[in-house]
Amino acid sequence: MGVTVRDLSSSDRAAAAEVLRASKAFTVEEVLVALDVLDDALAGGTAAGYAAFAAERHGSFAGYVCGGSTPLTESTWHVYWICVHPAAHGTGVGQALTEHFEAHVRWRGAQRVIVETSGRPDYARARRFYDSAGYRPVGRIPDYYRKGDDCVLYCKVL
Amino acid sequence: MGVTVRDLSSSDRAAAAEVLRASKAFTVEEVLVALDVLDDALAGGTAAGYAAFAAERHGSFAGYVCGGSTPLTESTWHVYWICVHPAAHGTGVGQALTEHFEAHVRWRGAQRVIVETSGRPDYARARRFYDSAGYRPVGRIPDYYRKGDDCVLYCKVL
């Protein structure tokens, strides 16, 4: 399917920002926070407990994933952000990023990965993706992001 | 009951560290992380979205609470850490800290407070405390902290 996954580097920052904007899934504030998290991951690197990967499809930047080990846990990691360019939706980019992330963090000792996402109808596609990738719902916080916008927590045991 | 709650200040750091150690509820790593969070709260203050309060009982430092507004949410706050000296357990210090924190963050726009705690048997007292204070379980992540040590998430709507 022409998708390759490699380490995210600082030269990917503009492309990552463009994917975040193009996805139309995030508010301006959310894009800025996502870029802050990405900058922390690029600056801190694996020594600071981060993991970040880029996906290319037919040679073009198509998305990225960024996560880290969860403080005060022995073997739990969080996905902080994952985003796929809308032009590449349905082409296996999200799956390739997720599988690469999971294999990498398992190698670093992870035994489970947590993802927090929205319970809004327009996030149904994202939730179906996690369901089909082996993530199980472990919590739901009503009105967490804002009124009518719940947080749904997923956990995958590796 | 002789309990007063006031703003936490940097002169409370040693007393807070002693309460964390005396509680015997935390590992050395957890105490160090708790003090890092406390330092961030004292340095960042309300402008950085923190809230931190100390409780005194009969004039002595008896415990503290530290929390903050949750990024990317409109009106959600987290309690990061709350600790009461074991000599003051059962005297209303935890309740006074929690009520003061809730009233303060509601004033700053909070509509709900999230607490994460352990599902271990030796945390049953803490979970009963949250149950009786109006917090409702909204999630449980098996083996989150380590094998056999689940994370239980509570939410209180203010």
- Judge contact between A85 and A117, C-beta under 8 A: no
Quickly name the fold that domain A3-111+132-157 has: Aminopeptidase (3.40.630)
What three-state secondary structure class fits B86?
helix
Predicted confidence (pLDDT) per residue in A92-136, tens digit: 999 999 999 999 999 999 999 999 999 999 999 999 999 999 999
Instruction: For residue B146, give the nearest of B21, B30, B10, B15 by alpha carbon.
Output: B30
Cβ-based contacts of B142 with chain A (< 8 Å): 138, 155
Average pLDDT value for chain A: 95
Report d(CA A15, CA A23) in Å as an integer: 12
Q: Please check whether residue A45 touches B, CB under 8 A.
A: no
Look at residue A48 in the predicted model and tell me its pLDDT.
81
**B1 pLDDT tier (thresholds 50, 70, 90):** low
- Average pLDDT for residues B126-150, to the nearest whole number? 97
- Average pLDDT for residues B27-44, to the nearest whole number? 93
- Tokens coding A106: 């398992």
Q: Please check whether residue A140 touches B, CB under 8 A.
A: yes
The complex's ipTM works out to 0.92
**Continuous segment of H or E residues that includes residue A34:** helix A28-44
- CA triplet B103, A153, B126: central angle to 5 degrees? 45
Give residues 68 to 87 of A whose Cβ lies within 8 Å of B: 70-76
Look at residue A7 in the predicted model and tell me its pLDDT.
97
CATH number among 3.60.9.10, 3.40.630.30, 3.30.70.20, 3.30.70.380, domain B3-157: 3.40.630.30
Q: With pLDDT > 70 as the criterion, what percentage of chain A qualifies?
A: 99
Look at residue A25 in the predicted model and tell me its pLDDT.
85
Average pLDDT value for chain B: 95
Cβ separation B155–A142 shorter than 8 A = yes
Cβ-based contacts of B112 with chain A (< 8 Å): 141, 143-144
Name the packing angle between helices A28-44 and A13-23 (round to 10°). 150
Look at residue B6 in the predicted model and tell me its pLDDT.
97
**B19 pLDDT tier (thresholds 50, 70, 90):** very high
Would you kindly state where each structural domain of chain B is located, as residue ranges? 3-157
How far off is chain B from A100, nearest CA to CA, in Å?
22
Cβ-based contacts of B29 with chain A (< 8 Å): 72
User: Which of B70, B76, B141 is facing A114, going by the closest CB pair?
Assistant: B141
Report d(CA A138, CA A153) in Å as an integer: 6
Look at residue B48 in the predicted model and tell me its pLDDT.
81
Predicted confidence (pLDDT) per residue in A41-96, tens digit: 999 888 789 999 999 999 999 999 999 999 999 999 999 999 999 999 989 999 99
> Number of Cβ pairs closer than 8 Å across A and B?
66
Residue B138 backbone dihedrals phi, psi, to 5 degrees? -120, 0
**A31 pLDDT tier (thresholds 50, 70, 90):** very high
In which region does residue A32 sit, left (phi positive, over 0), alpha (psi from -120 to 50) or beta (all else)?
Answer: alpha
- Judge contact between A48 and A80, C-beta under 8 A: no
| DSSP character at residue B97 | H
Q: Please state the separation of Cα B146 from the chain's center in Å.
A: 21
- Average pLDDT for residues B59-74, to the nearest whole number? 96
- Taking 70 as the threshold, does the pLDDT of residue A1 lie above it? no
Alpha-helix residue ranges (DSSP H) falling in B54-155? 93-107, 124-132
Report d(CA A74, CA A132) in Å as an integer: 26
Look at residue A44 in the predicted model and tell me its pLDDT.
86
Predicted confidence (pLDDT) per residue in B77-122, tens digit: 999 999 999 999 989 999 999 999 999 999 999 999 999 999 999 9
| DSSP character at residue B89 | T
Query: Which of A27, A31, A144 would best serve as a mutation to test chain B binding (most B beta carbons within 10 A)?
Result: A144
A31: closest chain B residue by CA? B72
Report d(CA A136, CA A14) in Å as an integer: 33
Look at residue A114 in the predicted model and tell me its pLDDT.
98
**B47 pLDDT tier (thresholds 50, 70, 90):** confident
